[in-house]
Structure 1
Amino acid sequence: MASFLYKLGRTAFRRRRLVALLWVALLAIAGFGAASAPTATSSSFSIPGTEAQKAFDLLEERFPGGSADGATARVVFKAPAGGKMTDAEPKAVVTDAVDALKSGSDQIASVTDPYTAQAVSQDGSTAYVSVTYKVNSMELTDADRDSLEKTGETARESGLTVEIGGDALQAMPHTGAGEIIGVIIAGVVLVITFGSLVAAGLPLLTAIIGVGIGISAITALASVLDLGTTTSTLAMMIGLAVGIDYALFIVSRYRAELAEGREHEEAAGRAVGTAGSAVVFAGLTVVIALVGLAVVNIPMLSKMGFAAAGTVVIAVLIALTLIPALLGFAGDKVLGRKARKGKPVSEKPNAGTRWARFVLRRPVTVLLVAVAGLAAVAVPAASLQVGLPDDGSQPVSTTQRQAYDLLSDGFGPGFNGPLMVVVDGDKAAAERTIDIIKELPGTAAVTPATPNKAGDTSMITVIPKDRPSSADTEDLVHDIRDKSGDDVYVTGATAMNIDFSEKMNDALLPYLALVVGLAFLLLMLVFRSILVPLKAALGFLLSVVAALGAVVAVFQWGWLGSLFGVEQTGPIMSMMPIFMIGVVFGLAMDYEVFLVTRMREAYVHGERPGEAVVTGFRHGARVVSAAAVIMIAVFAGFIGSSEQMVKMIGFGLAIAVVFDAFVVRMAIVPAVLALLGHKAWWLPRWLDRILPNVDVEGEKLHKQLAGEPGSGGPDEDRELVRV
């Protein structure tokens, strides 16, 4: 592989104008496709294989047009203290509001009158108007939302408390300036690392080009492939982070080759042939982790994973081709000021060398402190509660949350999470089902059955006694399914939430086995060792559990919540654990490959295990640290998002990189390698014969180049190739 990448790097350097033109053309084509594509909408949510999804599909078939994916709103009215919504004055206000809603937007599908739809609480204090739209919330215009809000404001003038719930007021999520700040921080780190504005600008420029192509392609295909609005956000988050990191390693290696006296083209070829090999395998681990999300069999999650994986592939290709092309344009400007003036580089031990020697002197102490610290942070993960967000998880200052609370107070805590029971049978079957459900302990109310035109299917609405996210409501769903027969299905948002969480939990171990297993094999190819990949996997598990503990502490317990803009605590999103496992595993293996590959190379060239660790840190610690800080800055930039899911993912990934890069890879890894000694690099002979040699360190490449003119002479065969 190193030989092929060496030739690719040299070709890209020579044909730099053509390569740059091709990437710019690709960006323009993708941008044109995105500009001419329809606006992205919310992705349709489905959970194949679950009972809730079977019920939803049955409704689509038996009640055509009755389950449209349109936006909804609930305008909730509460009378002043001592008054009732059935009094003449409040009733007139509600009637006027109903008329205003019907004429307020041409996207209105229906508006219910609470006095004819039995939507007044038993004590008369609260009433609500249900509004449905012809289009989903992302397709509503500002004028539609303004009309809805204006109706509420007009009704408030009469002295009533009026709040609006539902998803009709849900606008397109925004991330603010957070990600821009993240990129700026990345630029500052690159300038400090390289001491050159040109060298710092190359990773930023190529990462932005890669993300631009990826996001534009996702936008262009969003309507065709039913990609949701969060798909592009995830792709941007991952694409920026790995794009900057991969380019950083290529540029760093190129500078090292120039410092050794190579010609520019030769240096570009060697940089891509050596560091580029590590980039390819690091990218493969990230792609495996993201594509592996498909095993969960949740279409929305699979699409997010495939889209982000595509952006990672683009980042790898850009690092291997566009970076050497741009290096050809940059010339010596990628070097620091001292290097350009020919000043000698200091040979004093750098921070990486000093830290590695410290760990080698006290490996047991460093290992125990690092493991104990991560274990302590991981403790809150034992209290992890998962669920999907609803209006009850909104900040208390929002009208959606206040409407949710008014309905809960007026109609009972289960009113915000009704269950829809679908009976695949005649009227008699529906009546038997109602009698069974009424006897269940968690049932608060059951509506009469609503049959379809053919009379072979009925819908029944069940109001639980407890709130939607409670264990009692979950028990009620299971009781209905267990005791009502095979022709009775439970669906609705609450049931979908329960099924989604269960499906995610069931898929966790198979997904973990698949991703870790494939990556373990991949790392055996890279390191030609069994214990090093095993250590890498165990270290990852420790860092991801600690990251989940931090997420629980902030978003579920509320610790330091105000610092991160968390206005309302609640359950962690169901997809968060499995999603963090996938993404963090791929990113963790990046650092493992970049740092430990250099150690293995030094070891196979004759250094003792301890010396190899020091060599790896001397050449890799500074660059890996810079890459980690950049990735943390990019992920942390998304904490400012208005979307709770994006905020949580940004925080989780940022804190996971902190733990994995600076605790696991920088402390636990050298400590374990120091304790294992020669055993760390042991591989059975029979397995060594079976495994193909992918030459990540470029050993074969050096042998090929040893006698070539301008390659540096036979001494190159003894040279240590740095990643």
Structure 2
Amino acid sequence: MAAPISSVGAMEIAERLGGWSARHRIAAIVLWLLFVVASSVLGGMAGQQQMSSAEDSFGGSRQAIEMLDAAGIEDPAGELVLVHGTDAGPVIAAVKGTGQAVRVKEAARSGGKVLVSFDWKGDPDEAMDHYPAVRDALAATGVRTETFGSATVDLWFGKAISEDFERAEWTAVPLALGILLVAFGALVAAVLPVALALTAFVAATGLAALASHQFPAAEATGSVMLLMGLAVGVDYCLFYLRREREERELGRSAQEALRIAARTSGHSVLVSGATVTIAMAGLFLSGMPMFESFAVGTILVVLVAMTGSVTVLPALLSLLGDKVDAGRLIRRRRPRRQGRVLPAILRGVIAKPGLATALAVAFLVALALPALGMRTELLSLRQTIPASDPLITAYEHIAAEFPAKAETGEILVKGPAGDLAALGEAREQNGLTRITIPLATEADLDRARAAIEDRPDAAIHGDLAFSDDYNARLKDAVLPVFAFVAGAAFLIMLLAFRSVAIAAVSVVLNLLSVGAAYGVIVAIFQHGWGDELVGTTGAGAVQAWLPLFVFVILFGLSMDYHVFVVSRIREAWRQGMPTRSAIFHGIGSSAGTVTSAALIMVAVFSVFATLSMQDFKQLGVGLAVAVLLDATLIRVILLPAALSLLNDRTWSLRRRPTIGPPEPAPLTPVS
């Protein structure tokens, strides 16, 4: 991870990279393509190392998994069939007849229903491949049945992740392209950022496969990389391209326009990329492999997108010249007209910054209030999968009729169990005693832990124990990660802008937007307020890992356009404008670019809010809400209000230079 760079250093680096790429455009483009292809091929050859169950477990749950592994025990994949009727004979015969199952038996009876259990033959990871044969055999009996178990759950998640990933890709990309078409009005200019973002994602995916041999990949890492790659990659290119187009419209030569874009927007891209990278690196302090996998994937896709934006993009712009406006679909007015709404809002905010700050903060705090009652847990199947899905319906019916069979766990003991054998059904296997116990409630877990308190050779194995151990580890990770990310963001902004005030304001504004996002997540997914708007039913809790991950992501992403806006304000101030006029000018001149960037992020995150799994819904809604608030309430009201209150104290560590970058066409100054 590169060390943070000063503002002047970042400007010089960005300008030199852009200048070299523009002068050696063919070489820059060829090198980029070779890099993408090589990364993808090498990643494919190496393959992706998936995270094991033990690596993603903690405390007693990890001890239990390691005990099973040391004993060479790999439990077969099991399945339950609920028979609606009293004659299970045809069902048992049908399952046996497929040749795909062993130990087929009647497990329990209750009223007019029978529960049949069996284990799948062969490798447990391949159980879902055998399921279609059993499904067809059950259908042929004419008996009404419902199935739930390893194969059906794996099939659902495999299908959901595959289809959701494909749907996200094929929905988010056209949405981003459509927004860019409106922003630029030309097909070529709109396609460039999307193409660069996708190639960055492809290259980063290959690199992530290589990195997975050191940091095993979590299942959702690919989806997180797509989400971040599109949002950040498109935005970085958008900033650069929009500034280059603006300078060309002002009559500057192609070479001069590229130089200015490299020095200004290129600088913003480098600072933003460094911020996201360092923020994501904070996840390594969690000590949790899943977060480490997310961090590695996100850091790679951000660094690749950042590199492409300051190297191959200038080369492409130099090669295309004015042809970047080819395929124009929307006629652009020149000179560009400023709207009336934003200038009016900014004048009011800058004129009465105290009142504007109070009202905006009050609104954000009101949104954040539900977060005070946030309840986090590792969501169960019933909370993760839509309640209307047949898989959950089957589970609910089985749990209602046969609760002891639906939610059980085990106490594992090395050697003889002694008094623990009285707690449930005990059996010896490869030197381990395995005692089956009910494990459906916290009371069950407390009793089991009390029973093995003085037995270091014993551990509890089961979903509830895993969730509890996971949450305990997560709570220990929150404080160090939060402190590192907030502190790193402060230092980066301080180094980038040489201003304690700007660094402090940036962190406070981020905390407000994160708090508001938390409040909305809790309101929708814990309390169920308006949950139907995102096509779900409130889970009654927030996914355990989500608050920490959302905090880190938002601290990184909010710097995306925050750095861009503050850079435009500072640029105007460097040219001699009074601070309040510079605020008005910087926010107004960046409005179109920031609005387009924010719309793309909100669109991409909103796509994830439509996916099947509750995890992605919560993540998508939280990020979309935070970005929307950042780009509207915070950028248009709180940021100018806070800087107006500070006035010249905004630039606490910086003296106004006598010479600065070329000044764009000014807006009407604020008196």
For normalisation by structure 2, the TM-score amounts to 0.88
Letter matched to residue 428 of structure 2: P
Structure 1 letter corresponding to 2:386 = P
For 1:540 and 1:385, locate their aligned partners in 2 and report how far apart those are by CA, in whole Å: 22
**Would you say the 8 A contact 1:43–1:300 is kept in 2?**
no
Give the counterpart of 1:422 among 408, 412, 421.
412
Structure 1 residue 653 and structure 2 residue 641: aligned? no
Task: Determine helix, strand or coil for the equivalent of 1:397.
Answer: coil
Shift in Å, 1:675: 1.9
Judging changes above 3 Å, is the alpha-carbon distance between structure 1 residues 473 and 576 closer, same or farther for their aligned structure 2 residues?
farther
Contact 2:57/2:470, CA 8 A, preserved across alignment: no
Q: Secondary structure at the match of 1:169?
A: helix
1:65-144 paired onto structure 2 within 5 Å: 66-67=73-74, 72-80=77-85, 83=86, 89-90=87-88, 92-101=89-98, 103-104=99-100, 111-115=102-106, 119-121=107-109, 125-132=113-120, 134-135=122-123, 137=125, 143-144=129-130
Shift of 1:36: 5.5
Greater mean deviation of Cα atoms: 569-578 or 319-328: 569-578
SS at match of 1:421: strand
TM-fit CA distance, 1:194:
2.5
CA contact (8 A) 1:14 1:265 kept: no
TM-score, with normalisation over the residues of structure 1?
0.82
C-alpha distance 401-186 of structure 1, shift in aligned 2 (>3 A): same
Q: Spell out the pairing of 1:11-22 with structure 2 (5 A cutoff).
A: 11-22=20-31
Q: CA deviation at 1:594?
A: 1.1
- Secondary structure of 1:422's aligned partner: strand
Rounded to whole Å, the distance in 2 between the matches of 1:622 and 1:9 is 23
Q: 1:79 to 1:260 in 2, by over 3 A?
A: closer
Structure 2 residue aligned with 1:447: 425
Q: Residues 302 and 343 of structure 1: is their aligned pair in 2 closer, same or farther, counting only changes over 3 Å?
A: closer
Contact in 2 for aligned 1:388/1:573 (Cα 8 Å): yes
Q: Read off the aligned partner of 1:27 and give its amino acid letter.
A: V
Any conservation in 1 of the 2:280–2:298 contact (CA below 8 Å)?
Answer: yes
Q: Give the match for residue 463 of structure 1.
A: 438
Q: Name which of 548, 560, 565 aligns with 1:578.
A: 548
What displacement does 1:277 show? 1.2
Change (3 A) 1:478 1:671: farther
| Structure 2 contact 360–637 (Cα < 8 Å) conserved | yes
Counterparts of residues 550-565 of structure 1 (less than 5 Å): 550-565=520-535
Report deviation, 1:304.
1.8
1:297 to 1:416, Cα distance in 2 relative to 1, 3 A: farther
Alignment-derived partner of residue 595 in structure 2: 625
128-137 or 308-317, which deviates more? 128-137
Aligned residue for 1:365?
355
The aligned residue for residue 548 of structure 1 is: 518
**1:149-174 Cα deviation digits (max 9, x unpaired):** 2244245x13x443323334332412
* Structure 1 counterpart of 2:505, from 535, 555, 579: 535
Give the deviation of 1:305 after TM superposition: 1.6
Distance 1:331 1:453 in 2: 72
Residue equivalent to 2:374: 384
Q: Deviations over 1:94-140 (max 9, x none)?
A: 43144135x13xxx6xx33334xxx3157684423142454455x56
Residues 433-454 of structure 1 deviation map (CA, whole Å, 9 limit, x = unaligned): 345xx5xxxxxxx222x33444
Q: What secondary structure sits across from 1:120 in the alignment? A: strand
Relative to structure 1, the CA distance from residue 397 to residue 165 in structure 2 (aligned partners, 3 Å threshold; closer, same or farther) is farther
Partner of 1:169: 155
Question: Quick one: structure 1 residues 370 and 165, their matched pair in 2 at CA, closer, same or farther if it must change by over 3 Å?
Answer: farther
Aligned to 2:469: 499
Query: What is the CA-CA distance between 1:297 and the residue it aligns to?
Result: 1.5
Look up the match of 1:304: 294
Distance 1:341 1:519, change over 3 A: closer
SS state at 2:38 partner: helix
Which AA in structure 2 matches 1:677?
N
Structure 2: segments with no counterpart, 5+ residues? 1-8, 667-671
Match of 1:399 among 373, 390, 393: 390
Contact persistence 1:418–1:494 (CA under 8 A): no
User: Does the 8 Å contact 1:377/1:546 carry over to 2?
Assistant: yes
Distance in 2 separating the partners of 1:718 and 1:398: 60
Q: 2:525 touches 2:537 (CA, 8 Å); kept in 1?
A: no
User: Does structure 2 conserve the Cα–Cα contact (< 8 Å) formed by 1:520 and 1:533?
Assistant: yes
Which residue, out of 133, 151, 165, partners 1:147? 133
Distance 1:307 1:668, change over 3 A: same
**Cα pair 1:152 1:164 within 8 Å, conserved:** no
C-alpha contact 2:108 2:115 (8 A) present in aligned 1: yes
CA distance in structure 2 between the partners assigned to 1:41 and 1:486 by the alignment: 30
Shift of 1:392: 2.2
**Could you say if the C-alpha distance between residues 644 and 149 of structure 1 is closer, same or farther in structure 2, counting changes exceeding 3 Å?**
farther
**Whole-angstrom distance in 1 between the partners of 2:333 and 2:379:** 59
Which segment is superposed worse, 358-367 or 625-634? 358-367
Instruction: Pick one of 408, 433, 450 that aligns with 2:420.
Output: 433
SS class of match (1:606): coil
Higher gyration radius (CA) = 1
RMSD of the TM alignment (CA)? 3.2
* In structure 1, distance between residues paired with 2:290 and 2:591: 38
Distance 2:50 2:13 in 1: 43
The one-letter amino acid of 2:179's match is V
Partner of 2:13 in structure 1?
A: 4
Give the letter for the 2:63 counterpart: K
* Equivalent residue pairs, number: 649
2:16 matched to 1:26? no
2:629 corresponds to 1:666: no
Q: Please say if residues 216 and 289 of structure 2, whose CA atoms lie closer than 8 Å, have aligned partners that are also in contact.
A: no
Q: One-letter code of the match for 1:128?
A: V
Is the contact made by 1:350 and 1:618 (CA closer than 8 Å) also made in structure 2? no
> Does the Cα contact within 8 Å between 1:591 and 1:665 map onto a contact in 2?
no
Question: What residue is the counterpart of 2:271 in the other structure?
Answer: 281
Q: Secondary structure at the match of 1:131?
A: strand
- The offset of 1:9, in angstroms, is 0.8
Which whole-Å CA distance do the structure 2 matches of 1:717 and 1:547 have between them? 37
Q: Is the Cα–Cα contact under 8 Å of residues 573 and 582 in structure 2 kept in the other structure?
A: yes
Mean Cα deviation higher: 246-255 or 543-552: 543-552
Q: Write the distance in 1 (CA, Å) between the matches of 2:516 and 2:45.
A: 44
Secondary structure of the residue that 2:474 maps to in structure 1? Answer: helix
Q: Does the CA contact (< 8 Å) of 2:371 and 2:522 recur in 1?
A: yes
In structure 2, the CA distance between the partners of 1:43 and 1:615, relative to structure 1 (3 Å rule), is farther
The residue number in structure 1 matching 2:402 is 411
Query: Is 1:479 aligned to residue 450 of structure 2?
Result: yes
Q: Paired residue for 1:257?
A: 247
Q: Alpha-carbon deviations, 1:156-206, whole Å to 9, x = none?
A: x13x44332333433241225344333223223222222333322221221
SS at match of 1:149: helix
* 3-state SS, counterpart of residue 419 of structure 1: strand
Shift of 1:570: 4.3
Residue 496 of structure 1: CA displacement? 1.0
State the 1:421 CA deviation: 1.6
Contact 1:364 1:671 in 2 (8 A): yes
Q: Output the amino acid matched with 1:52.
A: S
**Partner SS state of residue 640, structure 1:** coil
Contact 2:605 2:624 in 1 (8 A): yes
Q: Summarize the alignment of residues 229-240 of structure 1 with structure 2, pairs less than 5 Å apart.
A: 229-240=219-230
Alpha-carbon distance change, 319 to 387 in structure 1, aligned in 2, over 3 angstroms: same
